[in-house]
Amino acid sequence: MAAPPGTQDLPRIVLGVLFILVIGVASLYILQPFLPAVIWATMIVVATWPFLVMLQARFGGSRTLAVTTMMLLLLVIVIAPLVMLITSIVGQAQHLSEMRGLEITIPGPPGWVASIPWVLGFWAIVVLLHAVAGAQQRVELWALLLCGAGLLTLSLWLSIQVPLLLVLLLIAAAALERCRVRAATS
């Protein structure tokens, strides 16, 4: 009895599909550490594409000049805050090393502060640190908290406000370019 046509290749097809699936899963496993960077890069490209098209039109259709300008602008937008952050960290590290031998006590919060809702969370952290610092009596804990809170605030502000401002500027530039193109074509 002869086998139906195409069934002789069934093991080859199944093994081929299985091999492709294994290669795909292995590739995703290897690329897993890079996926956040790829997602951020995709978001930046999508957000800045209208601005790139506008720059290309301004440079007479030269994609090379537009891409070079965009790359330099994005590097300045990313590198400048990082340089400021690193400079701040280095400056604070030296200041903290000078204050190594000092001992202070952290006072508790005043009673009226508890009635202000938005300050309550911060003062709960201060009270907790007051209890911890009461046992250690070291200035480094408080100084590191203040330095860390300042750097965290700065990094949060830079990571939220600067890209938001960039996106808003790019949207406005794209809208102006769209209006200019519509006016030119009508």
Mean pLDDT of 26-55: 87
For residues 114 and 123, what is the distance between their CA atoms, to the nearest angstrom? 8
* pLDDT > 80? residue 68: yes
Closest CA to 100 of 147, 141, 144, 140: 140
Q: What angle do CA 124, 130, 133 make, to 5 degrees?
A: 140
132 or 168, which is more confident: 168
Q: Of 43-57, 71-85, 116-130, where does mean pLDDT reach its minimum?
A: 116-130
For tokens 């590191």, name the residue.
Answer: 144
Share of the chain above pLDDT 90, in %: 13
Q: What is the mean pLDDT of the chain?
A: 75
Q: Give pLDDT, residue 119.
A: 46
For residues 6 and 132, what is the distance between their CA atoms, to the nearest angstrom? 75
Is this model's pTM higher than 0.85 or not? Answer: no
Q: Give pLDDT, residue 150.
A: 60
Q: Give pLDDT, residue 54.
A: 92
pLDDT digits (tens, 9 = 90+) for 106-156: 666 667 656 655 544 555 666 655 665 555 545 555 555 555 556 556 666
119 or 159, which is more confident: 159
Share of the chain above pLDDT 70, in %: 60
